[in-house]
Amino acid sequence: MADVDLAPSSRPAAPAGVEADTVVRSVLFLAAILLAWISLHPFQDRSQPQLDITDGGNFVNQIGYASMFLLLAAWTFFNDANRLKPLLRPALVVMLAWFALTVVTSWEPGLSARRLAFTIIVLGIAGMTLLLPKNVRHFADLLAAATLIVLVLSYFGVLLVPDLAVHQTSDFLEPEHAGSWRGLFPHKNEAGGMMVVFIFIGLFVARLRSVAVGGTIAVLALVFLVLSHSKTSIALLPCVLIVAAIAGRTRRPIVGMVMTIGGLVALNIVSIGSVYSDAVREVLGQVMDPSFTGRTDIWQFAFDQLAQRPITGYGFLAFWGTERVVYGLGQSFTWASNATDAHNAYVNLAVTVGIVGLVPALLWSVVLPVSDFYRRSAQPDDRLLATLFLRIWLFGIYASSFESALFQPVGELWFIFLIAIYGLRYLSLARVKS
């Protein structure tokens, strides 16, 4: 984005050339973000059991994302690829190197290798996508367009094909969610998480471009969020807005960093701490289900397994859903062995890459982004952009205390979370250069 010194260093083109360039940038941006948000298999039929793709992977996803990566790589090559260099931070390099090591030590090397390759592709797509908008206002316009497309499709789904857009009693898994809206997303929790992000985007667009458009986005997303019955997302929305408002106004970066990261620590003490602390469970029991709808059993199971391989874990994203867990460990432990993930991104990552791999991952995804926020540019438009990125980042790390939204091969929230991390990095560099 030109406003944060991301535009290619080239001579001004003729008006027709500029117009064509804008069209190409816009089309590529929308294609990339809608690929992540809509996916290649929207409106899934949940009355049928999901196919097991741990052996061969999802071929359609592989083709789609690989093609998108190649298109963006070709565009970036001809538009100053050096602009990607700031994203290759030492923490990211160390993290990926350790992930690669866990592929070698994985008990499912093929599965870990495929998922790591896919994760790297998504990391690259997110980084290159952020270079496409010509300035902050163009970025806002494109985000508004993509968000409205997803919202309209989701509402149409609820109205026209409710069997595929609203949880039903006939769902093969979790029929208890019947009546909860999910739109084009696979699950109500994913829908709820994205609706929170859309509210942030709506507020950003309203401040920067159009009150009518931004307000429409925010209202549509808020209504959908409520009807999704996603308790975690509904509870976190006001928390994130309050924390981001206070953190954005504090003049002492250390205070803001302690507040934002401290909130994450507190959430995990309350959630994961309930597994080991009777006191925490008793307090929680006064106001809510202390098992977090069964999550504590999954966390206990995950910690028991992590204790067996604390250094390298079981291999990058090669634990949940594998035959050794479902049919092997499941014979000796609880129903939790059938879980699809740890319902906590940090526990999920620790189990698969070990405690050692968790450290650089937390440094890159939690510590560095908030540090970048306090080194951002002071330009008005950049402040609004930084606030958007801060809110998305905060919601991502907080929601990951109850869902495994981060560090997945694909995922709607994971993709926009990457955009936020990269955006904060570029904004911090804009201030240095200014």
What pLDDT is attached to residue 13? 46
Neighbours of 23 (CB within 10 A): 10
Exposed/middle/buried for 247, CB within 10 Å: 0-12, 13-18, 19+? buried
DSSP state of 367: I
pLDDT at 51: 55
C-alpha to C-alpha distance for 10 and 106, rounded to whole angstroms: 46
Cα-flanking dihedrals φ and ψ of residue 157, to 5°? -60, -45
What's the token pair of residue 348? 């999920």
Mean pLDDT by 10 residues, the chain (434 residues): 44 56 95 95 83 60 93 94 93 97 94 94 96 95 97 97 93 86 94 97 96 97 97 95 94 91 92 77 70 79 91 92 74 68 91 96 96 86 93 96 86 96 93 52
Q: Identify any residues that bridge with 181 across adjacent strands, giving them in sequence order.
A: 166
| Chain centroid to CA 124 | 14
| Domain range list for the chain | 2-433
CB-count exposure of residue 198 (10 Å: 0-12, 13-18, 19+): buried
Rounded Cα–Cα distance for residues 21 and 110 (Å): 40
The confidence score (pLDDT) of residue 332 equals 54
Query: Helix 412-433 vs helix 15-38: angle between axes, to the nearest 10 degrees?
Result: 140
